[in-house]
Amino acid sequence: MTSATDRAGGAVGAGGMADRPVVAFGPAAEGGFIVLAVNHEATEAFGVTPEQAGRPLAGTALAPLAGPVLAVLSESLAGCRPAEGDIGAGWRLRVTPLRAGAGAPVQLIGRFEAAGAALQDLAGRTDFFQVVIDTVPVPIFIKDAAGRYIFCNAAFGTFQGRPAAEFIGRTVFEVAPPDLARVYHEADRALFAAGGQQVYEAAVRRPDGSQADVVFCKSVFAGPDGGAGGIIGAILDISARKAAERDLHAATQAADQANRMKSQFLVTMSHELRTPLNAILGFSEVIKDQLCGPVGNRAYADYAADIHTAGEHLLSLINDILDLSKIEAGRMELEVKELDLSDLLAGAIRLVVQRAQNQRISLRLDLADPVPQLVADERAVKQILFNLLGNAVKFTPAKGRVTLSASTPPGGGVLISVADNGGGIPADQIERIMRPFERLDNRYGCADGGTGLGMALVKALTELHGGSVSIESAAGAGTRVAIHLPAEPPAGRR
């Protein structure tokens, strides 16, 4: 069996510092402490020898220092924790308790340090700590329990516009404007009361008078008695982020305002645009059809027909722009009802059949059986179908084919698609053509490039019904545009 003295000798040999005196102590049965083992440096420094092991502290060469040594040993034993203290004669004792198990300590390892060396070591560690913290670009500070600054790094001084040393020993009331000092003081009081950590944003004034947006990150640390010893904190300057947020908010508001003004202008101007245009259409039709009698020169009737055609195109364009503006402004309301989908699709085919025949393009209607049920805004669905079929016919070459189909997808609702075997759309351009006024000019050598509103209006009207649009295409492989509409639009969109 290994004796306590043997174990103490091992601890002194393994855990002792080679250049400092180390003595192992143990509690005595009658009270006090006995010496268990010593190292060579302890013998040279105090004259205590291995032969004195087992003797009470007062019976060894350490007897002149017995009082203060006993005090440090008792503190360590009572608290089962390390303890240290000055023991006189220029020495400082550091004691570490060692347990044999879960019980009380059976050994206390005492390391003796010359007081001057201890202070030098402490000063070196403090200087090293200061250098490390000064390299951190974030302002860091430490306050004691009374709110006095006891440490500030270089970044803290730079942030405050004065040397960090000027804060040491002072409270916020001595270094900050009264209004800010009260805010800081109340925040510190709340942190002391609640404990833990505290993070909050605040606006502070820089030395040049400008305002900085910052985040305070603070924590309470424990003092020697276990209570709140003070606060350690860091200050993060978020001025750049806040400025960017304000700029983004202002830009968003300006964009929203501009969009509202544009939409309001277009809606307001609808009457001003349509009224004279309707007069142009009406009178040009009268002249074209010679309703008031024959026109002396046939060329005038032809000119009137051209005016009427151009006027209808212009009215269609104005209607598209106004519809898109109403949707963007949230002012378009759907007039939903149950639709006869087969009649609706057949009517859409009739609208483009003449143009398709002129270009020798075959049109096909593929309708599922049974016919899907659809509740929607009839005018909106007609506009969607006309735009999709018009695009397909426009960009399909002679002797090509266009197929309009409708079915009920697995998830319910109605799936309407228009497919052609034209030149297709490059994959990187598909998203672009869904935006207003974006178009692929002369994609197939077609001179009629359009306004770029057709697909944007299809997307807007479909989404207004709670549906979605998808495009499958590739250059040279044709195009298939599918719209998925719910069986009924959401209640909030009617």
* Same-domain check for residues 312 and 433: no
- What is the rounded CA–CA span in Å between residue 356 and residue 365? 14
Identify the pLDDT of residue 447: 43
Helices (H), 110-238: 115-134, 154-160, 172-175, 178-194
The residue from 68, 94, 120 where one domain ends is: 120
* Same-domain check for residues 175 and 59: no
- What is the rounded CA–CA span in Å between residue 280 and residue 289? 14
Measured distance between the N- and C-terminal CA atoms of the chain, rounded to whole angstroms: 93
Among 453, 456, 483, 458, smallest CA distance to 469 is for 483
Identify the pLDDT of residue 362: 93
| 73 touches 60 (CB < 8 A) | no
Kindly state whether residue 109 falls inside one of the protein's structural domains: yes
- What is the rounded CA–CA span in Å between residue 335 and residue 494? 6
* Same-domain check for residues 315 and 377: no
* Same-domain check for residues 268 and 205: no
Long-range contact list for 257-261, CB < 8 A, 24+ apart?
Answer: 259/328, 259/329, 260/329
Kindly state whether residue 77 falls inside one of the protein's structural domains: yes
Identify the pLDDT of residue 283: 83
DSSP for 93-135, written as a single string: EEEEEE-SSSSS-SEEEEEEEEHHHHHHHHHHHHHHHHHHHHT
Identify the pLDDT of residue 125: 60
Question: How do beta strands 362-367 and 22-27 pair?
Answer: unpaired
* Same-domain check for residues 302 and 446: no
Identify the pLDDT of residue 444: 42
pLDDT digit of tens for each residue in the chain (494 aa)?
A: 334 455 555 556 544 445 789 999 999 888 889 999 999 999 998 999 999 999 999 899 999 999 999 999 999 988 888 999 888 877 889 999 887 666 666 789 999 987 665 555 555 565 677 777 888 889 999 999 889 998 899 999 988 888 888 898 899 999 888 888 898 999 999 999 998 899 999 888 877 778 889 999 999 988 767 788 899 999 999 999 999 999 999 999 998 888 777 767 766 776 677 778 888 888 888 888 888 888 777 788 888 888 887 887 787 777 777 777 777 767 778 888 999 999 999 988 998 898 899 999 999 999 888 888 889 999 899 989 998 998 899 889 999 999 999 999 988 889 999 999 988 888 888 888 888 777 765 544 444 556 678 888 899 999 999 999 999 988 788 899 999 999 888 765 55
* Same-domain check for residues 164 and 276: no
| 191 touches 228 (CB < 8 A) | no
| 462 touches 485 (CB < 8 A) | yes
Kindly state whether residue 131 falls inside one of the protein's structural domains: no
The residue from 120, 155, 178 where one domain ends is: 120
User: What token pair was written down for 449?
Assistant: 């490039």
**Residue 330 region, left (φ>0) first, then alpha (ψ -120 to 50), else beta?**
left
User: Using one digit for the tens of pLDDT, what is the confidence trace for 327-340?
Assistant: 776 777 888 899 99
| 374 touches 339 (CB < 8 A) | yes
Identify the pLDDT of residue 179: 85
* Same-domain check for residues 222 and 266: no
| 457 touches 433 (CB < 8 A) | no
CATH number at residue 277: 1.10.287
- What is the rounded CA–CA span in Å between residue 171 and residue 274? 74
* Same-domain check for residues 93 and 147: no
Kindly state whether residue 344 falls inside one of the protein's structural domains: yes
Kindly state whether residue 130 falls inside one of the protein's structural domains: no
- What is the rounded CA–CA span in Å between residue 437 and residue 375? 30
- What is the rounded CA–CA span in Å between residue 36 and residue 461? 93
* Same-domain check for residues 351 and 222: no
User: What token pair was written down for 245?
Assistant: 């947020």
CATH number at residue 72: 3.30.450.20
User: Using one digit for the tens of pLDDT, what is the confidence trace for 335-380?
Assistant: 889 999 999 999 889 988 988 999 999 999 998 888 888 899 998 9
- What is the rounded CA–CA span in Å between residue 109 and residue 95? 6
- What is the rounded CA–CA span in Å between residue 467 and residue 26? 84
Identify the pLDDT of residue 445: 41
For residue 195, what are the domain limits? 136-237
* Same-domain check for residues 181 and 296: no
* Same-domain check for residues 210 and 95: no
- What is the rounded CA–CA span in Å between residue 486 and residue 466? 7
Kindly state whether residue 15 falls inside one of the protein's structural domains: yes
The residue from 328, 359, 387 where one domain ends is: 328
CATH number at residue 362: 3.30.565.10
Number of compact structural domains in the chain: 4
Three-state SS for 294? coil
Alpha-carbon distances, residue 447 vs 354, 443, 450 (angstroms): 19, 9, 9
Kindly state whether residue 50 falls inside one of the protein's structural domains: yes
Among 130, 163, 156, 126, smallest CA distance to 141 is for 156
- What is the rounded CA–CA span in Å between residue 484 and residue 372? 12
* Same-domain check for residues 344 and 489: yes
- What is the rounded CA–CA span in Å between residue 63 and residue 67? 8
